[in-house]
Structure 1
Amino acid sequence: MEQLLPLKGHHHVSAITANAKGNYEFYTKTLGLRLVKKTVNQDDTSVYHLFYADERGNPGTDLTFFEIPNAGQTRYGTNSISTTSLRVPSDSAIQYWKVRFDSLGIEYEEQNVYKRLSLAFKDFEGQRLMLVSDENNQGVKGGKPWEKSPVPVEHAIIGLGPVMLTVAKLESTALILSRVLGFKEVGTYMLQDKKVTVFETGLGGSGAEVHVLEESDLPVERPGRGSVHHVAFRVENEEQLRKWVQYLKELRIASSGFVERYYFKSLYFREANGILFELATDGPGFEGDESFENLGERLALPPYFEAQRSSIEAKLKPLDTKE
């Protein structure tokens, strides 16, 4: 990987919802994230793409959702992104969230995952989530919570934590992570009598870890509402991304090639078990078409879709996201 800088950690995770209004209510009012961009799926402009994050959508803090109104329920299985974790600052924050979840009637399971205090839970559509304490975390720094969040800043979510993959063949995914993407295998732990292998990149820590669980006896997951579409990893800039495009081409790994997403630049490919990976640049970010104060309040469209605004808006069910 000559001239390629190491991937910096997680950029974003993109999942599927069938209910944009309910999704907005849960991730902003219940989890306290900020909606930093209300836009459309650039590959299908008839559906919303919602970005929740820290105060300004810093790389590594984004959890995004495509709204597919007729999406069926996910049938959980292998070859999937099976848990998305969200970092909170401390063990005391985990205690805060236990009380909050109890008051809201949200079921959870307290766990110790890779020596971190954690709460496993699901959203209203069965999206598999986990809060992870950063009490003793070293490595990639978290983001900065929005001060207008309903969750106190000292307990608020500060970014993406470890992403868990469930795969039929550990060796195949491990090969892509280590030999192609430059991750390092750094440890293992047991989760419900199953071994999980931990890989990290860049500065490491919970914001740069992929946890891989091998489940060879499960059927392949059938995605729907409550499933994860893809995980994206951070690339420094466009120059580096174009080198990754060339590198995958040299390895004869099929990819999307360079993709302009306006808020960042991207590259997509599937690893050996069929999970979709994205490499995405840290910038330009979300303030090119909205001010910091007004992020997420209106339907934002990249310039190349602006001429189609009327027809795009006509296909979308109105979603009020102004505070």
Structure 2
Amino acid sequence: MELKGIHHVSALTANAADNYSFYTEVLGMRLVKKTVNQDDTSVYHLFYADEIGNPGTDLTFFEIPRAGTTYPGVSSISATSLRVKDDNALQYWKQRFIEYKVDHDDIITVGGRKIVSFRDPEGQRLKLVSDETNNGVKGGTPWKKGPVPVENAIIGLGPSHLTVNDPDPTIKVLTEVLSFKEIDRYPSLVQGQQDVRVFSTGEGGTGAEVHLETRPDLPRERPGRGSVHHVAFRVDNEEELQYWKERLQSARLPNSGLVERYYFKSLYFREPNGILFELATDGPGFTTDEDPEHLGESLALPPYFEQDRERIEARLKPLDI
């Protein structure tokens, strides 16, 4: 049994309103769910994705208003990739970044794919990666009502980039527990460092990879606004999620057990370098409680929070959509 690829990536923001403006107005992603952090209902949890929030397209943010500055380092998800259709789209984005004064780098080729690295206003480390040569997991469906032409729009999540001090424990979990396969290596962009190692699962391709970088020269990351909280991998259904729970227990990896998130079911655990992984089911999805035409327009709460809606809404700063 194999994981199907990247399900979602969850990151931290100190300002939900500014975050919403950047990811919808500049990056052209759709806010498919405006809800709350189910572990702390006093703050927002925002989901940006393709047209209907297909698995593998969700970049989510927990709002932590007092979050401090991120100090990059190891034991981290150090960059998140966003997929675009082809190399031509990167040219469009380079001009768009200039127009919107987005901090970005030049287009380069890394591991056989063209990419452009950039940062959001809080320093979130992001990459656009071209699907020009992708033969694996298909991308999502761009939001047709967004500000970016569909031929250039973001179509999903690409490889998650992990940075660690010692790669061996992480590799053991990826390959022996989660059944990823090492398929490639490419030179680090930092002179004198080891090659970045590429691990793939399921159908492979840009939507199903983890890139592992070894940096013994760096301290442990101090997370804050602009850092990544966790990466989630796709599981078909709850039955398979139970299988993975038992597999983690057999490997003596402490885990959360199955967690109800309403839009999907989840299982959380930390690999030995301290990076938080989640396994999440593909369904039921974000249209389970909202019409596809009106996703993200109002505060959505799972049924088990509805009795507290008035109290929850009173504690949230209004977010105009």
Which of 147, 165, 168 does residue 165 from structure 2 map onto? 168
Which residue is equivalent to 2:117?
120
CA distance in 2, matches of 1:307, 1:148: 34
Q: What secondary structure sits across from 1:119 in the alignment?
A: strand
Which of 127, 131, 146 does residue 128 from structure 2 map onto? 131
Which of 34, 40, 43 does residue 38 from structure 1 map onto? 34
CA displacement at 1:102 relative to structure 2: 1.1
User: C-alpha offsets along residues 23-80 of structure 1, whole Å, 9 cap, x if unaligned?
Assistant: 0000000000000000000000001000000000000000000000000010111110
- Count of aligned pairs between the two proteins: 317
Which residue is equivalent to 2:238?
238
CA displacement at 1:172 relative to structure 2: 1.0
Which of 44, 51, 54 does residue 50 from structure 2 map onto? 54
Which residue is equivalent to 1:272?
272
User: C-alpha offsets along residues 120-156 of structure 1, whole Å, 9 cap, x if unaligned?
Assistant: 0000000000000001111000000010010000000
Question: Is there any run of 5+ residues in structure 1 with no aligned partner, and where?
Answer: none
4+ long deviations beyond 4 Å: none
Which residue is equivalent to 1:201?
201
Q: What secondary structure sits across from 2:286 in the alignment?
A: coil
CA distance in 1, matches of 2:140, 2:255: 30
Question: Is there any run of 5+ residues in structure 2 with no aligned partner, and where?
Answer: none
Which residue is equivalent to 2:216?
216
Which residue is equivalent to 1:311?
311
Sequence identity (%): 66
CA distance in 2, matches of 1:170, 1:160: 23
CA distance in 2, matches of 1:306, 1:289: 12
CA displacement at 1:167 relative to structure 2: 0.4
Q: What secondary structure sits across from 1:130 in the alignment?
A: strand
Which residue is equivalent to 2:101?
105
CA distance in 2, matches of 1:54, 1:163: 18
CA displacement at 1:251 relative to structure 2: 2.0
Q: What secondary structure sits across from 1:252 in the alignment?
A: coil
* Alignment partner of 1:15 is 2:11: yes
Which residue is equivalent to 2:254?
254
Which of 143, 146, 149 does residue 146 from structure 2 map onto? 149
* Alignment partner of 1:28 is 2:24: yes
The one-letter amino acid of 1:145's match is P
**Equivalent pair of 2:103/2:120 in contact (CA under 8 Å):** no
CA distance in 1, matches of 2:72, 2:290: 37
- Stretch moving more, 170-179 or 245-254: 245-254
Which of 167, 174, 179 does residue 177 from structure 1 map onto? 174
CA distance in 2, matches of 1:23, 1:72: 16
CA distance in 1, matches of 2:25, 2:209: 28
The one-letter amino acid of 1:203's match is E
Which residue is equivalent to 1:227?
227
**Aligned-residue RMSD, C-alpha:** 0.7
CA distance in 2, matches of 1:157, 1:319: 23
The one-letter amino acid of 2:49's match is A
CA distance in 2, matches of 1:24, 1:212: 30
CA displacement at 1:106 relative to structure 2: 1.5
Q: What secondary structure sits across from 2:74 in the alignment?
A: coil
What TM-score results when the alignment is normalised by the length of structure 1? 0.97
CA distance in 1, matches of 2:103, 2:261: 36
Q: What secondary structure sits across from 1:86 in the alignment?
A: strand
- Stretch moving more, 94-103 or 225-234: 94-103
Q: What secondary structure sits across from 1:148 in the alignment?
A: coil
CA distance in 2, matches of 1:178, 1:230: 19
CA distance in 1, matches of 2:277, 2:59: 15
CA distance in 2, matches of 1:251, 1:188: 27
